[in-house]
Amino acid sequence: MSPPPRAEVRAELAVVIVSHNTRGALLACLRSLAANARLPLEIVIVDNASADGSLEAVRAVHPSVHVLANATNEGFAHGANQGLRASHAPFVLFLNSDAEITPGSLEALIARARAGDDIGIVGPRLRDGEGVIEVSTGPVLTPFAEWLQRRLVRGVARRRPRALREAEKLHAREAEPAWVSGACLLARREALDAVGGFDEGFFLYEEDADLCLRVRAARWRIVFSPAAEVLHRRGESTAGAPRRARLEYDRSHLRYYAKHNGPLATLGLRTLLAARAGAAFVRGLLRGDAEERTDAVARARLAWARGARSHDRA
């Protein structure tokens, strides 16, 4: 008598990875999932018009992974929502293609999320490729809070001992911050459904802070848990176009302020961005750098554009 068919194991966790021209990092990310995950996973990759062979490599090495291929670069938030809709598990991990999970990290994130029915989002501690702590959590993005946060981020980037000690202390204990980094963000599907997922008006940057703010407003908790630690080799998808990345950061920053910080703070941010663009234009003149001048003009126009809308699809 033949044995009964095995019941299909339903994954409790979906992993959504949005990628754009990060072939090597993406394959390393998938290897880390294969090597270190100890629970069934539903993996969805959303490729934003990569031209580096990412799709072919994934399909050849990981044929069971669900791949969604976009003909144009639709941005992170749009891609994340695509992956959300294409998956079914009750928990969803949004993972950057330049991130790698470590042994036990997924299990620790899931365990923390399960510990409270009102927990909507959990974020892990992040370290870079050299093992240095990454500032991956923080307060609501107001002008003063951002100034303090930027001081800490710059200090960590420059490996200043005081900043490193402060960042290590900040990320050594569990907390309920205003936001956690979208580089690795575990969310309860029910909480995402309650707010409609990511705001697709953000092309890149600030969509994680905006999502966390809206999830908190819907009465879900945001938890940072150092019990889980993830490696983040940041900047893979923006390394080839740093000026474009800066422009998109400014655009998202303006959108966030317009949504959450009111007209006066938004005016202040516009003035600051315009002043920085003016200084960049002068530097471009002095250096004879036409590309820097063109970039500065684009940033100045953005600073005073009406509204903070999503940019044209690239």
pLDDT digits (tens, 9 = 90+) for 173-197: 999 999 999 999 999 999 999 999 9
* Antiparallel, parallel or unpaired: β 184-188 and 91-95: antiparallel
pLDDT at 265 over 70: yes
Give the range with max mean pLDDT: 218-227, 237-246, 292-301: 218-227
- Torsions phi, psi for 207 (to 5 deg): -65, -25
Q: What percent of the chain lies above the pLDDT cut of 90? A: 84
Average pLDDT of span 102-116:
97
Asked if residue 219 and residue 198 are part of one domain, the reply reads yes
Rounded CA-CA distance 221/188 in Å is 11
Average pLDDT of span 138-153:
93
pLDDT band of residue 57 (cuts 50, 70, 90) is very high
Asked if residue 290 and residue 210 are part of one domain, the reply reads no
- Torsions phi, psi for 16 (to 5 deg): -110, 125
Task: Indicate whether 83 belongs to any domain.
Answer: yes
pLDDT at 306 over 90: no
Burial class (CB in 10 A: 0-12, 13-18, 19+), 236: buried
275-288 confidence digits (pLDDT tens): 999 999 999 999 99
Burial class (CB in 10 A: 0-12, 13-18, 19+), 169: exposed
pLDDT for 304 = 87
Asked if residue 265 and residue 129 are part of one domain, the reply reads no
Collapsing DSSP to helix, strand or coil, 281 comes out as helix
Rounded CA-CA distance 186/221 in Å is 12
DSSP H helix total and E strand total for the chain: 11, 10
Asked if residue 130 and residue 40 are part of one domain, the reply reads yes
Rounded CA-CA distance 171/133 in Å is 8
Asked if residue 262 and residue 189 are part of one domain, the reply reads no
Task: Indicate whether 7 belongs to any domain.
Answer: no
- Domain, as residue range, for 83: 13-232
Structure tokens at 227: 């019990």
pTM, two decimal places:
0.91
Rounded CA-CA distance 39/262 in Å is 44
Please say which residue of 209, 232, 255 terminates a domain.
Answer: 232
2-40 confidence digits (pLDDT tens): 444 433 458 999 999 999 999 999 999 999 999 999 999
Number of domains in the chain: 2
Average pLDDT of span 47-53:
94
